[in-house]
Structure 1
Amino acid sequence: MAKKKTPTKTSTDDFSKYIRWFWMIFAGGVLAIVILFLFASWGFLGEMPDHTRLENPETNLATEIISSDSKTLGKFYFNDNRTPVAYEDLPQNLIDALIATEDVRYYSHSGIDARGTLRALTGRGGGASTISQQLAKQLFTDQVSKNKLERALQKVREWIIAIRLERQYTKEEIISQYFNIYDFGNNGDGIRSAARIYFGKEPSELDLKESAMLVGMLKNSSLYNPRRNPVGTKNRRDVVLAQMAKYEFINEEVRDSLIDTELDLRYTPESHREGLATYFREYLRAFMKDWINDENNRKPDGSKYDLYSDGLKIYTTIDYRMQQYAEDAVAQHMPRLQAEFDHQNTPQRNPTAPFLELKNAEIDKLLKNGMRRGERWRILKNQGKSDKEIEASFYKPIEMTVFKWIDGKVGEVDTIMKPIDSMRYYKSFLRPGMMSMDPQTGHVKVWVGGMDYKHFKYDMVKQGKRQVGSTFKPFVYATAIDQLQVSPCDSFPRTAITIEANKFGNPEPWTTKNSDGNYSGVQTLKDALASSTNTVTARLMNEIGPQPVVEMAKKLGVEQDILPVPAIALGTPDISVYEMVAAYSTFANKGVYNKPVLVTRIEDKNGTVLYQVVPESKDVLSEEVAYVTVNLMEGVTQAGSGQRLRHSWASKVPVYKEIITGYPYEFTNPIAGKTGTTQNQSDGWFMGMVPNLVTGVWVGAEDRAAHFGSITYGQGASMALPIWALYMKSCYADDTLNVSLEEFEKPEELSINVDCDVVDEGDLGADYKKEDEVNVDF
């Protein structure tokens, strides 16, 4: 029997086997990829955002402080200075730059760019991440891992999230979210902060090359930081411009013209210690802390709002333009005033500089008391240092940065100095406080608590309370008009008057002196207030008594206790600029007191109103008494210490040229006001009013023992009035503000006569016979 022949394997069989293996591997690979994506979507490869998180991504949003003219004054934040911007507020050139550089097929894919991914996998160059994937990485995945396997798994998560984002949001919403989430460095969290910090603009105002620079930074904002690496950042910007030309968003001519230009940064840091209205913002922080801690102000879930991450919007009454004019006025006047103060307080001219009338032992005691109140003492005490060790540290030189006026601008210098010497150095600086308010609404328009918050943190608008000098006299006059119906035209003798002991509870006899030494003749009340004649004010006090004046001050908004003694007639009480402006506003507002308003409303990040101001007002004076008081104060700028607002003569007096900034002012509109100067010229005040704006200015040093030696420079008309004048000049030059030029409105029924003879303003030369008694005002 013959054997059967065994069939031999053919090449066809071998090929079929390979085909089967290929399809098995391919199917297994596809299945593995499907399982991998399923596992990723189920969260097995790491937490995945659910629908709620996709709809409301968790991002920290800074609280924004908004001015009355809709500009950002500043923000409250810890780490994330982020304020979202809608797609409609992004310029087209910024969007075009993004598409051209990061994802040219953005509008044709659904989250994953297959062509880009294939090109990246085959090593043919180009990035694989779409804008949606980059947003997914920013929002929902951890930092990029250095492990290749972990990075691959992370990429899978990004793909899935990107697809979900595309289903959840429109293309436009994804672009705006991407720009809003990205950290551009230097506290530039999101496109709005970046545009403001690098160019001082809102995103909608960015031009083409600015947009290209910011889009270029998306590759790596740490590497392409325009402050640290301007050359590299410029090169990267030019790459973006080239991409825009390549994909025909711009033409070659535009690209060529822009690559030859510099970055043209306008670096404007956004921090709590820099920018506009820093002192007001710090006051606002305390206001918001109280508001947040109030149990009536809670989130829907019952938790507290977070000032630094919940994206609140605080709408304030501060006018951005007016605030800038006020800070500019301070910066223009204070360096020149300070230069004269320093000139008079060299060690050769004043061995106890910057203090006057103090002995060395008294100065040492003052400085040692200052040590214990300072931040340095508190920090070292918390470190467990003994009092002796801490005090010794004040006498060891250390490196420090100190404040200095440089070319008429706020600046600072690095130096080596003993902390005790730095204390004396800072006590030598004159400081300003200034507030401006609309008397009809109570809206505070300007708040300048000092000249540099970084180095002088004590707010001289509301925290600081200083003797007010003659700016208190209108309270006495208003009380006398209210009770006695006296007229500005009524005359009183200038002779000295003594209020005997025990009258009005005064323990000793009180006799006033006139600063000019003149006690002869008589004066109308209008002239007496204009020239700050102390004896006439004392006579009014003798008629009405101090208690009604104290009650008047309280009704006008003065908060602290005032001892009801006759001496208050000359301005002995310590009162803040805040209170003085509110009080004077009552006169301008026809006798109605409006409590100052600083915040009109607060909204959450979705625009829901959480707080709406309820104005507080009360009737204090009749319209007639208020008008007559204003009429009296108009005399101060017509024939008194405020008359330099109307004339050019002061610019011709050599002693004033260096400190009276901006002469001649030559205001011609009605102005009511009052200067004030305290004992030894420690405090200089000016309160100025027009019908729709009341402004108060104070200037002085931290310690009353640091002051000018003569009234020439130390009076309110020299220290404070120029700031008011410079500020008002700028306000009047800005037609958009509509600051009043009109007269104060006269009541229809006025029984008190105000039509007195006006003092001749022509010949003022006699005022200079005694240089140190020019426009003396106590």
Structure 2
Amino acid sequence: MTSEKKKKSLLRKAIIALWAIFLGGLVAIFIFIYSISINFNGWYGELPSLKSLENPKSDLSSVMYFADNVEMGKYFRFNRSSITFDELSPNVVDALIATEDIRFTEHSGIDLRGLGRVFFKSVLMFDKSSGGGSTITQQLAKILFRTRSDLSNGSLNDVPGLGLVIAKMKEWIVAVKLEQSYTKKEIIAMYLNTFEFGSNAFGIKTAAKTFFNTTPDQLTKQQAAVLVGLCKNPNLFSPVYQPENAFHRKNTVLAQMHKYGYIDDAAFDSLKTKPIELDYDVQNQNDGLATYFRGTILWDLLAWSKENGYDLYEDGLKIYTTIDSRMQKYAEEAVEKHMAYQQKLFDEHWAGKNPWRDEKGNEIKNFLINEAKRTQYYRSLKKKYGNDEDEILKKLNEPKPMTVFSWDGEIDTVMSTMDSIRYFKKFLHTGFMAMDPHNGHIKAWVGGINYKYFKYDHVKQGRRQPGSTFKPLVYAAAIDNGYSPCYQIQDVPVTFEVVGDPPTWTPANSTGQYTGETMTIRQAMARSLNSGTAYVMRKIGPETVVNYAKRLGVESPLEAVPSLCLGTSDVSVYELVGAYSTFVNEGFYTKPFYIDRIEDKNGRVLQQFVPKTNEALSSETAYAMLYMLKGATEISGGTALGLDRELRVDNEIGAKTGTTQNYSDGWFMGVTKDLVAGAWVGGDDRSIHFRNISLGQGARMAMPIWELFMEKVYADEELGITKGEFKRPANLSIQLNCEEYNMQQMNLSDSVEQVNQFDVDGIQ
């Protein structure tokens, strides 16, 4: 055989061999991919099922809404909200395609041309800047199904290098299946809804809100370039923490958009020099309206989710509440304005002295160290140092940087743990709630002065002695048992036989004196005379009062003792507002509630909530109690005559103030035809309080919150809350027309001097 023939023969064999290797390689790759797709022998790990591919699950934040459809807040492990393709600005879509996958509309999940480019540049030319060649669909597969973590549980995945190849193959397989199941628009939307943009922003909707305080459909080219730039690496290109990197990355995205014709020369030249302008705000549970309410409702939602098989943090539930965003805003503004003023008075009142005092007015010894022992920090020190109290005390008094609350804004300072306890214990606190008495819908809820620093809710969680605000429940029991608001009593001592030493108890009026005057029980309640309530309590008995209080929705334990008539058993703002609402609702008690309905992520109603009601009083008794409550704003000596006169013009208002012993608690309950609201103000501990009635009474401590709130509510015509009269029953047999007779008998004047004389609450 000639050399020429040998060369041809060798060439032919080489070609055949190359083809065999090529075809064999193709067959091997096919078998390899197929074996991965079926997880042969458990070597590779499972692939997503067809069902999960058609319904890929991503954690969705559950969103809560006010009654007027304003978003209230979210519950999330990952702060994510979903949108459709039509809700995206074209700028975002253009930037994403130009930067991440320019042939996105041409391939079916795998860009073979892009892979060839990557292979040629990175493998043959060692060019690391060539990119990874992954399509948007492959990236979506990687994020949705965690192909490099959750699906990497096969026996071969731990082999160095091979595990990465297997993961890549899985991404190819899943990408192709995703392309078969979804349109290109759906894939774009899914990718942008799923991607983590940093700063706890999962998905383009949350990212647009977090970084620019806008919505995805309003994103400009500049903003879109910044957010798409984060798809490369959210940490490295964060506009908050790496602004220089973010600026350069933004320009890279803009250059890609310019390269592929999405922006013209003029736009590119203008935008590439423009700085990034952020409106940055990371959403958390300490910010926004109704923070205390969100903290309270959480436990109800967790219980509901567990009972009904949902995950509050992942399933994208939509919770519609009864709270009105406008009323909530007015309530929080009223609380802030009054409590800042009240705190100033309190600080001046104590003039730098410690306000925690015993019944004799002496400072309570070891108060601060006892409070410190209740902290988690003390328990950790105790675990570390055991019984070495000196070392523990040394650590408690060790200064350290911290941020503290003040009514003038947060303060960065240096304090020890003991100093911070001393500082925070001096703050006064509050709880305020307003509800529609006709349907039980709670419209506003303020559980304290600042949720970030004081998590304890004083609307439902907190219970304190209601003082004189409990008296209407006593009188309601009496009137429902045949007494009239015109029933006459004398302002004289009333003595009860009790168990103990001494064997009798005689409640005193707030002035410590009795006038001996004859008056109606309406006048006695308006002036909050303890003698009047004690007289009625002795007539009907404590057990009757407890029974009626329960019918009016008070679930807190009540002691059936004579002193209950002065509000000695703890109750909550939530309970009292519900009880007073019964009077407006014609005797029907409606339990205050705050969840209207819960929907799934697609808007399907899962549960519609309805109020729980029961007939607690006759409609006549209920109206008579409104007449009784109006006395505080109409009768000379009424404790609510200090209300703004403008509020009372052409308007029926029922009211009751309350002050407890030593002025530890100040209360106010206000009743109108459309709204019932109540406020409590006091110290974190009962030992923290004002020292005199002029500052420590409910008319001073709590009533201004209600007043400020109602002024704002009436000024907002869109709310539909108007002044007017209470609804009167058609047939009213209870005698109410007795005011003229009693006024003559009392010989009272309308002078300001006399009004001020009685402008105090009865104190137990």
Q: Normalization by structure 1: what TM-score?
A: 0.84
The answer to whether the Cα contact below 8 Å between 1:330 and 1:451 also exists between their aligned partners in 2 is: yes
Structure 1 range deviating more: 113-122 or 714-723 = 113-122
Q: Give the letter aligned to residue 364 of structure 2.
A: E
Q: What residue in structure 2 maps to residue 631 of structure 1? A: 627
Deviations 1:20-79 (A, max 9, x none): 45544543444444344334434455543232332333533444434333344333344x
Q: Does 1:478 align with 2:476?
A: yes
Aligned equivalent of 2:100, options 77, 81, 102: 102
> What is the CA distance between 1:621 and its match in structure 2?
0.8
The match for 2:170 among 157, 161, 169 is 157
Q: Aligned residue pairs: how many?
A: 738
Letter aligned with residue 191 of structure 2? Y
Alignment equivalent of 1:319, drawn from 319, 324, 334: 324
Which is further off, 633-642 or 332-341?
A: 633-642
- 1:593 and 2:583 aligned: no
Number of the residue aligned with 1:539: 535
Does the 8 Å CA contact 2:208/2:219 hold for their aligned counterparts?
yes
Deviation per CA, 1:502-559: give whole Å up to 9, x if none. Answer: 6999940414324385726454544443332333333333433333222211111111
Question: Helix, strand or coil: the match of 2:339?
Answer: helix
Q: 1:70 to 1:242 in 2, by over 3 A?
A: farther
CA contact (8 A) 2:197 2:230 kept: yes
Tell me if the contact between 1:356 and 1:707 (Cα under 8 Å) persists in the aligned partners.
no
Matched residue, 1:363: 365
The change in CA–CA distance for 1:52 and 1:591 in structure 2 (over 3 A counts) is same
Distance in 2 of aligned mates of 1:732 and 1:92: 44
Matched, 1:715 2:715: no
Q: What SS does the corresponding residue of 1:621 show, helix, strand or coil?
A: coil
Name whichever of 93-102 and 504-513 sits farther off.
504-513
Deviates more, 1:190-199 or 1:620-629: 190-199
- Which SS does the other structure have where 2:456 is aligned? coil
Query: Aligned pair in 2 of structure 1 residues 535, 404: CA closer, same or farther (>3 Å)?
Result: same
**Which residue of the partner structure matches residue 438 of structure 1?**
436
Farther off after superposition, 555-564 or 371-380: 371-380
Instruction: Give the AA of the match of 1:194.
Output: A
Letter matched to residue 325 of structure 1: Y
TM-score after normalising by structure 2: 0.85
| CA separation of 1:744 and 1:279: change in aligned 2, threshold 3 A | same
Paired residues of 1:514 and 1:535 also in contact (CA < 8 A): no
**2:645 is matched with which residue?**
647
1:530 to 526, 537, 561: 526
Unaligned regions of 5+ residues in structure 1, if any?
A: 300-304, 649-664
Provide the residue aligned with 1:392 in structure 2: 393
- Corresponding residue for residue 565 of structure 1: 561
Match of 1:136 in 2: 141
Find the residue that maps to 2:405 and give its secondary structure.
strand
Tell me the alpha carbon deviations over residues 418-458 of structure 1, each in whole angstroms, 9 at most, x when there is no partner.
x3333332221101112222222222232322222332222
Asked whether 1:692 is paired with 2:674, we answer yes
Say whether 1:120 aligns with 2:122: no
Equivalences for 1:84-103 in 2 at 5 Å?
A: 84-103=82-101
Question: Aligned equivalents of 2:754 and 2:267: distance in 1?
Answer: 66
Say whether residues 1:619 and 2:615 are aligned partners: yes
Deviations 1:312-343 (A, max 9, x none): 44443333333333223322222221122112
Query: Which residue identity lines up with residue 316 of structure 1 in the other structure?
Result: T
Deviation larger for 310-319 or 431-440: 310-319
Who is 1:55 aligned against? 54
Deviation, 1:390, is 8.3
- Match of residue 745 from structure 1: 727
Letter in 1 for 2:344: A
- Aligned equivalent of 2:126: none
- Cα distance in 2 between the residues matched to 1:646 and 1:615: 33
CA RMSD of aligned residues (A): 3.8
User: d(CA) in 2 for partners of 1:754 and 1:94?
Assistant: 70
- Secondary structure in 2 aligned to 1:456? coil
Q: CA deviation at 1:744?
A: 1.8
Given that 1:501 and 1:510 are in contact with CA atoms closer than 8 Å, whether structure 2 keeps it comes out as no
Amino acid corresponding to residue 67 of structure 1 in structure 2: F
Contact 1:277–1:447 under 8 Å retained in 2: yes
Comparing 217-226 with 93-102, greater Cα deviation is found at: 93-102
CA contact (8 A) 1:506 1:565 kept: no
Decide which of 200, 208, 211 is 1:187's aligned counterpart.
Answer: 200
Paired amino acid for 1:271: N
Change in 2 beyond 3 A, CA 1:761/1:154:
farther
- Provide closer, same or farther for how the CA distance between residues 77 and 8 of structure 1 changes in structure 2, counting only shifts above 3 A: closer
Cα separation, 1, equivalents of 2:190 and 2:516? 78
- 1:197 aligns to what? 210
**Counterpart residue type for residue 188 of structure 1:** A
Separation (CA, whole Å) in 1 of partners of 2:270 and 2:434:
47
Percent identical among aligned pairs is: 42
Task: Give 1:766's match in structure 2, choosing from 748, 753, 764.
Answer: 753
Amino acid corresponding to residue 403 of structure 1 in structure 2: V
Cα 1:575–1:131 change in 2 (3 A) is same
Structure 2 unmatched ranges of 5 or more: 122-128, 153-157
Q: In the alignment, which residue of structure 1 is the partner of 2:75? A: 76
The answer for the alignment partner of 2:376 in structure 1 is: 375
Quote the Cα distance in structure 2 between the aligned partners of 1:775 and 1:513: 10
Aligned residue identity for 2:281: T
- The one-letter code matched in structure 1 to 2:450 is D
Q: Does residue 38 of the first structure (1) align with residue 34 of the second (2)?
A: yes
Aligned-partner Cα distance in 2 for 1:762–1:265: 64
In structure 1, the residue matched to 2:347 is 342
Contact 1:505-1:565 within 8 A present in 2 as well: no
In 2: Cα distance, 1:48 partner to 1:105 partner? 26
